[in-house]
Structure 1
Amino acid sequence: MTKINCFIPFAEKEQAQKTIDGLKSSALVNKIYLLAGADVQGTVEGCEVIKVNNLNASATMRAIADKADADFVLLYTKYDTLKFAPYAIDRFVQIAQDSQSGMLYADHYNVTDKGADKAPVIDYQYGSLRDDFDFGSVLFFCAQCFKQAVAAMKADYEFAGLYDLRLKLSQHAAITHINEYLYSDVELDTRKSGEKIFDYVDPKNRGRQIEMEQAVTEHLKEIGGYLAPVKADGQPNFRHIEFNQGDFAVEATVMIPVRNRIRTIRDAIKSVLMQKTDFKFNLMVVDNFSTDGTREAIDEFKDDPRMIHIIADYYDMGIGGYWNLAAHHEKAGKFIVQLDSDDMYKDENTLTTMVKAFYEQNVAMVVGTYMMTDFDGNMIAPGIIDHKEWTPENGRNNALRINGLGAPRAFYTPVLREVKLPNTSYGEDYALGLNISRHYQIGRVYTPVYMCRRWDDNSDASLDVVKMNNNNLYKDRIRTWELQARVAMNKKA
């Protein structure tokens, strides 16, 4: 009969007992192992304790592989009660056998003090390289596939062990989403979506980020998607730019896409018009169907000759479409610098700093450093976001792992016109950045030049699970297309 080894986090008997009882009620469960920290005392009758330092460490994955002597491995990743629907474990086994998958995960319910909410997850793709991909808390493995993946692990990570294992497993086996609601558990993180999205760049997580970058870089090398910083002859593996293409009336254009931002658009515009430069610049505000007074607020600045108000009333146009309009406008500058309508430039030197970086670093795109603030400009956690873990040598590989490229973003207009952005309002800049980085170096500015304001009306302040899943699915698709392009390019080289 098919059997399962179960591995669950253990802090104390009371915390784990209900989960253990539920697992024991299934005839498919062979053994239950408790993953406990070195200082944790006690056990539960009928279970075996495995001492671990970190649930996500490479050593923990190896310890699980050593104990896995059944057909399947069930790994639970939370310190709360897990409850399966009737015969849900049987369903995991059935799908695992039918699909011959290496790893499975399922839709589920998140239980909070307000009740139980559906928590659907998204399909895994070739380019699903985010280390924070949401599988839910139950990971179900073919034991042999798990062992094979562990055997292929080369590093000893404190934080990236489970991530490394998943990447290794994906090279040889399918990762399958069961779009059925098979279990429920307690939702530990009840923050709004807008409060979660910057966790990956929190400076206190830098050690974790470095490990994750190392793991994904190794994976890219193994599947042929890695882009080396230098060629075989020792020359840089990036296209050189002379910055002499085209005939531009101004050196730089700031582009603000906007729709219904009456509370913030004036601040954004003022932060641009106050810039001090030794070159000519202009401002393009691309306005799409604003109806709350935003359009009239923009017109308050029409007497400034640097101001260009573009009315883009297209029902089928996303922010990427706004960018394409601005890039191909006859008054577009040699460089185009981004500013969201919610945000502001930090001071009068932002534009000069961003433009100077193009020439100093010979890059087609520049990503700056931003500071998280409240509506009034006061710094809030996590503070300054500088992506210092990125390196010029490996930034374009690491970019396939993270969920955003930072801000502000600036582009050499001839390259921007060539590549173009997808006509979407989410992930459009990320897709562009990945495409550009395939051939060109991405420059970095590590001093804060941008204020990213968080407030209730931010477009990503509080997204429901369906919207979040749609966004993440699309970004994974962007990664998939980019990874496919890089693998194909490497094969031709």
Structure 2
Amino acid sequence: MTPSAVKFGRYFILAVNDEKEAITSWPAHGGNIRKTISLYAFAKNSPARFLLVIDSRKDVICEGKAIKRLLTLAAKKNTGLVFSDFSEKKRNKLTSHPLIDYQAGSIRDDFDFGHFFVFSLHAIKSVLDKYGKPPADTDSGLYDLRLKVSLDYRIIHVAQSLYITADRKIKSAKNKASKTEKHFAYTAAANLARQKMLEKVATNYLRLRGAYLKTPKKKIHIAKSNYPVEASVVIPVLNRKKTIMDALKSALAQKTDFSFNIIVVDNHSNDGTTQLVKNLSADNEKIKHVIPNRRDLGIGGCWNEAVKSKHCGRFTVQLDSDDLYSSTKTLQKIVGVLRRGKFAMVVGSYT
């Protein structure tokens, strides 16, 4: 047969039967490859055995032996997807990029499969018949397909660099700057529609897997019991001599219409942090210096120490020992939202 290929969002999707077809039809630049938004139609109608997914933003070089190895693994019983480590070429230097194994809980849409991976078309057609079409959408279609394949088939990671990638063009300063914001892109208002679609895909997967938990509808009942203060700023700390004073000053500077204190859970610091907190707490009754009896606590255990202490207020608000509140009104805003919405938790953004 003549191999077929399409451009699906950022990926070239290539349907092949063996490594020879993959080599002869490998998309170099994608100039003549038609675009599609429907993975379903392309996969369902293909008589091939494998679906190769190649990142169009990279030059991907994979030798025939490596392709054959990936296809051989993808052809094995109960295998749905195969991916491998890779090497990146920059300025004539190769850098290895090992990836992590796929696990049952690896459901993030940005799980790193590298820049080239292989699906079994048998597995794809099976899950399409069983679980339905993926969205006709380049942002979520491949994500949906991968999750459905993972329900019934293995996803194999080859812990060996089987291909080489290189940038197609030099990235601009603008692109380099935006890379630092990539981690937080999901919070941008412009990405709301995309995130809602991805959430819908993930929720459907959890339902299919039997792991979906319904969102609780209950509102928090704000008890009228007596508390020492309305709110406690909790600062877990371990060896933060250089930053703890600034964090404490930021907390002390909060302007509120309610009483609050600051619980510093000092996890047995040995760099001078303990003495700094001790001295400041002696001069300011708002600061409560707590040193746990146990020496095996992590940050969660320190939090528990604060919540269980006699000093803890009605609401607890975290501040890291190396962070500052963005204004003197931050604590008031957070507690205000907790009161109005009767929420179990409120999360604030940071810069």
Paired position in structure 2 for 1:134: 112
Give yes or no for the alignment of 1:118 onto 2:96. Answer: yes
Give yes or no for the alignment of 1:170 onto 2:150. Answer: yes
Q: 1:6 touches 1:29 (CA, 8 Å); kept in 2?
A: no
Give yes or no for the alignment of 1:184 onto 2:164. Answer: yes
Q: Report the CA distance between 1:60 and its aligned residue.
A: 4.5
Q: Write out aligned runs for 1:52-201 (5 A).
A: 52=36, 59-62=37-40, 64-65=42-43, 68-84=46-62, 87-113=65-91, 115-150=93-128, 152-153=132-133, 155-186=135-166, 196-201=182-187
CA gap of 1:10–1:95, structure 2 versus 1, over 3 A, is: closer
CA–CA separation in structure 2 for the residues paired with 1:5 and 1:306: 72
Further displaced range: 291-300 or 68-77:
291-300
SS in 1 for 2:236: strand
Give yes or no for the alignment of 1:252 onto 2:231. Answer: yes
Give yes or no for the alignment of 1:27 onto 2:20. Answer: yes
Q: 1:109 touches 1:119 (CA, 8 Å); kept in 2?
A: yes
Q: Report the CA distance between 1:145 and its aligned residue.
A: 2.0
Q: 2:6 touches 2:35 (CA, 8 Å); kept in 1?
A: no
Please tell me the residue identity of whatever aligns with 1:127: G
SS in 1 for 2:75: helix
Please tell me the residue identity of whatever aligns with 2:99: V
The structure having more radius of gyration, on CA atoms, is: 2
Give yes or no for the alignment of 1:365 onto 2:345. Answer: yes
Please tell me the residue identity of whatever aligns with 1:61: L
CA gap of 1:180–1:312, structure 2 versus 1, over 3 A, is: farther
CA gap of 1:191–1:350, structure 2 versus 1, over 3 A, is: closer
Q: Report the CA distance between 1:112 and its aligned residue.
A: 3.0
Q: Report the CA distance between 1:165 and its aligned residue.
A: 1.5
CA–CA separation in structure 1 for the residues paired with 2:40 and 2:3: 14
Match of 1:304 among 267, 273, 284: 284
Aligned residues: 338
Give yes or no for the alignment of 1:266 onto 2:238. Answer: no
CA–CA separation in structure 1 for the residues paired with 2:90 and 2:292: 43
Q: Write out aligned runs for 1:76-475 (5 A).
A: 76-84=54-62, 87-113=65-91, 115-150=93-128, 152-153=132-133, 155-186=135-166, 196-229=182-215, 237-244=216-223, 248-302=227-281, 303-312=283-292, 316-368=296-348, 370-372=349-351
**TM-score if structure 1 supplies the norm length?**
0.59
Q: 1:10 touches 1:79 (CA, 8 Å); kept in 2?
A: no
Q: Report the CA distance between 1:196 and its aligned residue.
A: 4.4
Q: 1:5 touches 1:68 (CA, 8 Å); kept in 2?
A: no
Aligned-pair identity (%) = 35
CA–CA separation in structure 1 for the residues paired with 2:2 and 2:249: 62
CA–CA separation in structure 2 for the residues paired with 1:293 and 1:300: 11
CA gap of 1:293–1:63, structure 2 versus 1, over 3 A, is: farther
Q: 2:239 touches 2:272 (CA, 8 Å); kept in 1?
A: yes
Paired position in structure 2 for 1:50: 34
Over the aligned positions, Cα root-mean-square deviation in angstroms equals 3.7
Please tell me the residue identity of whatever aligns with 2:113: F
**TM-score if structure 2 supplies the norm length?**
0.80
4+ runs of 1 displaced by more than 6 Å? 187-194
Paired position in structure 2 for 1:397: none
CA–CA separation in structure 2 for the residues paired with 1:248 and 1:358: 16
Q: 1:72 touches 1:143 (CA, 8 Å); kept in 2?
A: yes
Paired position in structure 2 for 1:437: none
Q: Report the CA distance between 1:276 and its aligned residue.
A: 2.2
CA–CA separation in structure 2 for the residues paired with 1:296 and 1:284: 15
CA–CA separation in structure 2 for the residues paired with 1:113 and 1:261: 40
Q: Report the CA distance between 1:333 and its aligned residue.
A: 1.6
CA–CA separation in structure 1 for the residues paired with 2:35 and 2:24: 16
TM-superposition CA deviations, 1:305-364 (whole Å, max 9, x none): 010123359664321222122122221122211112232222222222222323322222
TM-superposition CA deviations, 1:411-433 (whole Å, max 9, x none): xxxxxxxxxxxxxxxxxxxxxxx
CA gap of 1:67–1:371, structure 2 versus 1, over 3 A, is: same
Q: Report the CA distance between 1:76 and its aligned residue.
A: 0.6
TM-superposition CA deviations, 1:434-479 (whole Å, max 9, x none): xxxxxxxxxxxxxxxxxxxxxxxxxxxxxxxxxxxxxxxxxxxxxx
CA–CA separation in structure 2 for the residues paired with 1:10 and 1:356: 46
The unaligned stretches of length 5 or more in structure 2 are none
